[in-house]
Structure 1
């Protein structure tokens, strides 16, 4: 939770109090002092202002009208209890709530209640609290919610205020008050999940059931959760030209990034450094274990055998009597004992191969796989047919059910742009053939479309240009939709 508390122990000592004989004049004053000490000690111990939370101080009779018990439900569904005087004005409760939350920009928020006629209304700061609530209610109950929606949330100065506004938007979305398209709702839900759960991990979230415990829309389906998960997967690369803090979740206590391969070289043997080849083998192992490097099981078993040879050395029948020595390693998503048997048989044939040679051989096999370096992005063509796009060193590929149906090399593409959710691929006249002059693909959101377009810009600059600085400033290949230009920071 985000509330600030003071973890201090406070011991209340009543030994200094002298209680007068029963019926004495000082008895009431002495008891009042004790109650006040108790209240202040309790507030000091819990970090909550006086009059907030739990039962009232001992001896304070709420039935006689000295105090009124007020419950306030916060935006995170927690309930805070306040004990105020029966003549307290609405402003007193507003101030206590703001102090309880340590909220500075409190003008955007208000307290909603139910009046004597049963209507929802805002708490009036200038009127007594008891005159604004139902006379039939035993406990006064208010809801702390956003009263004024700022048109520019980015202008809010306090991060905590923006956090409370996101809780309000989540509440509006889940209650069906924020009407929007399902794709927009899925994108909003994905941002909420990213803020609360962090980055997507295929190991932690193998399917969309991890979203079942959260309600984002009134009638939530598994198909909607699938869309949320796809948006959650859409991780962005760190932009070298932008401040780091602007690119990470504002509610994350620790900034977390993943160091992975961004550009897959078509010829790993051209890499000069052995350590670079080793890092590429680790990336391929990750792709294989996550199911992103689609290949035949025999090929996967051979790749796994090279990895085992590099890490464990030569096969030994004494050390490895059966294939169970491979059980602690995951090479493919659904690994079976039969697959481990195939890996062991391949491992037997690699005796004498050094770790460097194993990495070299593994990269040679991996680069021949059809899905080497392929990251699929879901989209649809102009007719609404499901498609998956991938960008690599030679251009853009279009897949349908893991089958490559089209390839657009950089030489065929005259211009590549995006407009809202549409990716526009304009071809050279001699490349039309079976295609129109401009081919359109529709993504789930503008952010996904721009993200893929951005990857295309980066891949074209990295693999087609000898140096980033030598590219023309007025490039005709990538235009409209963004001023982004790729700048290489690593040599190729």
Structure 2
């Protein structure tokens, strides 16, 4: 064991134990860091990456884990522990309570961007396509389906009640298959959550619509889900708070077709690319 070191502080001295010094030295000598990635299906996986490697190395490991072919639509987000300002003018942030979510830059190291350990990331759709039902890979569509479902549940994608029920019924068909009166008794949807304030009446509406989807495979149901979701006015809109010339609160949305302006979740202007 090393001799304990002594440091002078105001009013006296304190000991720094050799074990603490050894732990600090060990941390400096570690060549890799552990990154926990949370996926859209609520699973999670730990990945070991070289602490000096660019973040693209982590992205590559995640894509390999998922066996994703169409990689360019997806990215990893992390919680930026710097409190989010009231007005955000850059596309790198999304609100996450008092903090914000930032996209991991693949050209920089992880430790240059994130505080940790722990290093936690969220796998998300980064670029929404205008017609996700036409994506060439079924597995890519599956992740878009999971993302849009999460967008509605977390209130980022505003959706009329009847449309939300129809979308939810496709999600149920994807998960449970055809409606079966022997298995799917009253309240069989009680453990599902599709919208922020879900009611029993809403679940009954979903159940009635679920009965109409007999014969649809999970891939069929997810295709139909995305075909309906793409028509929502706020589908794929990444909103950022701003103020106009009259100091009125607005939201600027970046989409695949151009820049859109919303006020109180109502689109008031569009500027095509």
1:28 aligned residue: none
User: How many Å apart are 1:94 and its aligned residue?
Assistant: 6.6
2:216 aligned residue: 353
Structure with the bigger RCO (C-alpha within 8 Å, sep 6+) is 2
Kept in 1, the 8 Å contact 2:95–2:101? The answer is no
Answering whether residue 86 of structure 2 is matched by residue 246 of structure 1, we say no
**How has the CA–CA distance of structure 1 residues 49 and 241 changed in structure 2, closer, same or farther, with 3 Å as cutoff?**
closer
Measured against aligned partners, the alpha-carbon deviations of 1:133-188 in whole angstroms (never above 9, x if no partner) come to xxxxxxxxxxxxxxxxxxxxxxxxxxxxxxxxxxxxxxxxxxxxxxxxxxxxxx99
Kept in 1, the 8 Å contact 2:252–2:260? The answer is yes
User: How many Å apart are 1:382 and its aligned residue?
Assistant: 2.6
**How has the CA–CA distance of structure 1 residues 317 and 96 changed in structure 2, closer, same or farther, with 3 Å as cutoff?**
same
Kept in 2, the 8 Å contact 1:387–1:399? The answer is yes
User: How many Å apart are 1:91 and its aligned residue?
Assistant: 4.8
Question: What's the TM-score once normalised by structure 1's chain length?
Answer: 0.38
User: How many Å apart are 1:267 and its aligned residue?
Assistant: 1.3
**How has the CA–CA distance of structure 1 residues 94 and 246 changed in structure 2, closer, same or farther, with 3 Å as cutoff?**
farther
User: How many Å apart are 1:98 and its aligned residue?
Assistant: 6.9
Provide the rounded CA distance (Å) in 2 between the counterparts of 1:405 and 1:244: 39
Measured against aligned partners, the alpha-carbon deviations of 1:344-397 in whole angstroms (never above 9, x if no partner) come to 010010011111111111110000111111122111113211111110011111
**How has the CA–CA distance of structure 1 residues 409 and 98 changed in structure 2, closer, same or farther, with 3 Å as cutoff?**
farther
Measured against aligned partners, the alpha-carbon deviations of 1:78-111 in whole angstroms (never above 9, x if no partner) come to xxxxxxxxxxxx95767724747979xxxxxxxx
Provide the rounded CA distance (Å) in 2 between the counterparts of 1:314 and 1:332: 22
Kept in 1, the 8 Å contact 2:8–2:14? The answer is no
More helix as a share of residues: 1
Kept in 1, the 8 Å contact 2:5–2:15? The answer is no
Q: Tell me which of 266, 280, 283 is aligned to 2:144.
A: 280
- Secondary structure of 1:399's counterpart equals strand
**How has the CA–CA distance of structure 1 residues 269 and 188 changed in structure 2, closer, same or farther, with 3 Å as cutoff?**
closer
Cα RMSD, aligned residues only: 3.1
Matching of residues 146-157 of structure 1 within 5 Å: none
Provide the rounded CA distance (Å) in 1 between the counterparts of 2:181 and 2:9: 80
Unaligned segments of structure 2, at least 5 residues: 22-79, 85-93
Matching of residues 246-325 of structure 1 within 5 Å: 246-249=112-115, 252-322=116-186, 324-325=187-188
- Secondary structure of 1:339's counterpart equals helix
2:83 aligned residue: 190
Provide the rounded CA distance (Å) in 2 between the counterparts of 1:260 and 1:91: 49
**How has the CA–CA distance of structure 1 residues 91 and 355 changed in structure 2, closer, same or farther, with 3 Å as cutoff?**
closer
Kept in 2, the 8 Å contact 1:49–1:96? The answer is no
Q: Tell me which of 378, 395, 404 is aligned to 2:241.
A: 378
**How has the CA–CA distance of structure 1 residues 190 and 98 changed in structure 2, closer, same or farther, with 3 Å as cutoff?**
farther
Question: What's the TM-score once normalised by structure 2's chain length?
Answer: 0.67
Provide the rounded CA distance (Å) in 2 between the counterparts of 1:260 and 1:325: 29
Q: Tell me which of 362, 370, 376 is aligned to 2:225.
A: 362
**How has the CA–CA distance of structure 1 residues 91 and 340 changed in structure 2, closer, same or farther, with 3 Å as cutoff?**
closer
Provide the rounded CA distance (Å) in 2 between the counterparts of 1:406 and 1:333: 27
Provide the rounded CA distance (Å) in 1 between the counterparts of 2:182 and 2:258: 49
